[in-house]
Amino acid sequence: MQAIIRTKAGKEFSTMKVQNIESPKTQSGELKVKMVSSRINPVDMDLMKGFPTLKYKNPQIGGIDGAGIVIEVGQNEKDFSVGDNVFFYRLFSDIGTWAEEITIPANYCAKIPTNIDVKVACTIALPLLTAYDSLTQLNAKKGEKILIHGVGGGVGFQALQVAKQMGLFVIGTGSQSDKAVLDKAGLDQFIDYKTQDFSQVLKVKEVDYVFDVLGDDILKKSIALQPKKVVSVKFVDTSTMHKAGVNLPGIMKWLMKMMMSKFVKLAKKNNVEIIGQVTGANGKMLQKAVDLISVNYISRNFKSLSLTDISTNGLTKTDVGKVIVF
């Protein structure tokens, strides 16, 4: 079978090559999946150039999420059957979805609802899991207000769909080019980040929660709005990194804590609870998330690449956000 392999450490995706390797054997508790599609995520680039503390396999297949069809079920697995359409997100320590066939722990997987195309499902696996995990930690009540940054992006758009199903009033910062689909998804208030400063548009304490995917000054301004809670994918809480399969050494934990201290101090000053979002492989949570949004699910267009395209042209950082179709 063909797979996209990390041949060695290197800048961005420069060492990724399409190669022929043997199809993996299915172990107990695993599923063998014929891959249909896999999204190229920003984190994939970080993982492929080299991530501290991770032990890479030989050969090391790229990719951390995807979607496909179950073609074999390992022993002691009763929740899935051959022919099921599934999607999934893996741990940092267990990378590998960019191949025609893969094996994966069944507890990473969720079944794809019949109204969502398998090829499309890969585009939402990581974004949806991140959004759902983040928003459920807020314990928000119906009718409360949430500000979602980057609401037109991959994670932000899934957060919008989750928030609407939770009954929240959603304010989002985004680009005018995405406004039509955001309106369709039920966005209550749109802030054009190119022409408006959200911290000037919104009053202090006007929103109950903030979901941040941008960090830095955006995170600082969000805390200054004094919501009850801010959950951010850019705020690193080293105590939760185990969710992604990462065990940081003590010195790195200390460095990350020092880097995050400015946000901790600002949150304390404004009486805001700040939550660092780390997304881990969790099939049951992914199932809850997709079941929640599937009734009113809104699909979006995406650009795709084939293995032939990648074999000819390679991968670059400009391919982030595209979908590999097998």
Residues 6+ apart with CB under 8 A from 240: 276, 278
**How many CB atoms are located within 10 Å of the residue 9 CB?**
12
Q: What is the pTM of this model?
A: 0.94
Structure tokens that stand for 278 in this block: 């780390």
H/E run at residue 102: strand 101-105
DSSP letter string, 48-90: HH--TT----SSEE--SEEEEEEEEE-TT--S--TT-EEEEE-
| Burial of 194 from C-beta contacts in 10 A (0-12 / 13-18 / 19+) | exposed
Distance CA 2, CA 80 (A): 25
pLDDT in tens, the chain (326 residues): 999 999 887 777 888 999 999 999 999 999 999 999 999 998 898 888 877 777 888 889 999 999 999 999 999 999 999 999 999 999 988 999 999 999 999 999 999 999 999 999 999 999 999 999 999 999 999 999 999 999 999 999 999 999 999 999 999 999 999 999 999 999 999 999 999 999 999 999 999 999 999 999 999 999 999 999 999 999 999 888 888 888 888 888 899 999 999 999 999 999 999 999 999 999 999 999 999 999 899 989 899 999 999 999 999 999 999 999 99
| Residues pairing with 27 in the sheet | none
| Burial of 190 from C-beta contacts in 10 A (0-12 / 13-18 / 19+) | buried
Distance CA 226, CA 200 (A): 13
Structure tokens that stand for 61 in this block: 């297949």
Query: What is 2-123+302-325's CATH number, 3.90.1640.10, 3.40.50.1820, 3.40.50.300, 3.90.180.10?
Result: 3.90.180.10
Region(s) of the chain under CATH 3.40.50.720: 126-276
Q: In what order do the strands lie in the sheet with 2-6?
A: 16-20, 2-6, 60-61
- 126-276 classified as CATH 3.40.50.720: yes
Of residues 81, 84, 82, the one with CA closest to residue 67: 84
Amino acid 224 reads A
Region(s) of the chain under CATH 3.90.180.10: 2-123+302-325
